[in-house]
Amino acid sequence: MVPKDNDEFRPIDDIVQVIETVADNYIPTEEAEEFNDETTGIRRRLRRALAVTSDAQFREAVDDYNKAVERLRLSGSLAKTLDETQRINLPWVERILNQTYARTVSPRVESLRQYENGTDNVYGELLPRFISNIFKETKLKSGQVFVDLGSGVGNVVLQAALEIGCESWGCEMMANACDLAELQQAEFKARCRLWGIAPGKTHLVRGDFLEQDSIINVLKRADVVLINNQAFTPQLNNELINHFLDMKEGCKIVSLKSFVPAGHKIQSRNLNSPINLLKVQQKNYWSNSVSWTDVGGTYFIATKDSSRLKAFMDDSF
């Protein structure tokens, strides 16, 4: 159960993290001492066994955990605690997503490095904590629709379905990423069943998001659209802007590069530009938010708001 190098999956760590997640989220308060006591709790015993490299102590703690969980399962306590849970917290979300990723994407991650610099097909990931903050900033809710354009291996699509419980869509054209996204989706559904969680429905579409009918149609009812356009060519960014015309009022478009140039003003000569319909806020993200750098940066939330254009036209004409 010991990995060959530091980058490989560590089963023992996974066991400990699963037990800690269960202790934090599934165990009723009156039963928590058996798991969380600082001296005799199962979590403390696991850590102690690892510290002294005792296989026997580790196995004993795991056996006691299994017996305790089975007892609570049979009594209905686990199901009751889960039913009373209103929202899945980020560490819990990350545990399920990491389990899914480790078993599907990680063993095949080399296939994602086959991209072309200077094209639209450059792979990079937005990390869960950053994405969770985007969900908060856009006030994404369970009854809404989320769309990720350029969804890669599907990480954000799965996170939205799990953390928010919303209908979640993604579209990707790189074949290798699509293959891994489909593996992730299948593993994700199985993992959620094991954890007793019902996520929102996920839809993964292969192909060019400018041409796929299913994506064009869902954009018309989307509430939040994510576009990781950090490496998109100017041509693709310009083509995307025309699709904003069909989005509903109040739809929020999150991007790493703004679709509205700094200092843009509505004028008579640019009345027909789709960017006049967008009200933009610049936000900051911090270190460890994206896969390609540890440095923080900026991102943008554009809200479709026709009132500014209407006000200009009312004043001008």
Backbone angles phi, psi at 71, to 5 degrees: -65, -45
2 belongs to a structural domain: no
Give the model's pLDDT for residue 7.
Answer: 56
According to DSSP, residue 213 is labeled H
**CATH number of the domain enclosing 256:** 3.40.50.150
Say yes or no to pLDDT of 266 above 90. Answer: no
Final residue in a domain of this structure, among 53, 83, 113: 83
Give the model's pLDDT for residue 1.
Answer: 46
Q: Which amino acid is at 27?
A: I
My answer on whether 214 and 99 are in the same domain is yes
Backbone angles phi, psi at 171, to 5 degrees: -135, 135
Distances (CA, A) of 251 to 85, 145, 277: 29, 10, 11
Give the model's pLDDT for residue 233.
Answer: 85
Give the model's pLDDT for residue 8.
Answer: 67
My answer on whether 73 and 123 are in the same domain is no
Say yes or no to pLDDT of 273 above 70. Answer: yes
Q: Beginning with the edge strand found earlier in the chain, give each strand of the sheet holding 297-304 in spatial order.
A: 202-206, 167-172, 145-149, 224-227, 252-255, 297-304, 278-285
Give the model's pLDDT for residue 55.
Answer: 95
Computed over every residue of the chain, the mean pLDDT equals 91
100 belongs to a structural domain: yes
CA distance 14 to 246: 45
237 belongs to a structural domain: yes
- Residue 251 CB partners (closer than 8 Å, separation 6+): 222, 223, 224, 225, 303, 304
Question: 3-class DSSP state for residue 289?
Answer: coil
- pLDDT-derived band at 208 (thresholds 50, 70, 90) equals very high
| Domain encompassing residue 271 | 90-316
Using one digit for the tens of pLDDT, what is the confidence trace for 33-86? 999 999 999 999 999 999 999 999 999 999 999 999 999 999 999 999 999 998
Domain total in the chain = 2
26 belongs to a structural domain: yes
My answer on whether 76 and 126 are in the same domain is no
Question: 3-class DSSP state for residue 274?
Answer: helix
Using one digit for the tens of pLDDT, what is the confidence trace for 164-192? 999 999 999 999 999 999 999 999 999 99
My answer on whether 137 and 263 are in the same domain is yes
Report CA 100 to chain centroid distance, whole Å: 12
- pLDDT-derived band at 306 (thresholds 50, 70, 90) equals confident
pTM of the predicted protein model:
0.91
Q: What's the average model confidence in pLDDT over 90-109?
A: 95
292 belongs to a structural domain: yes
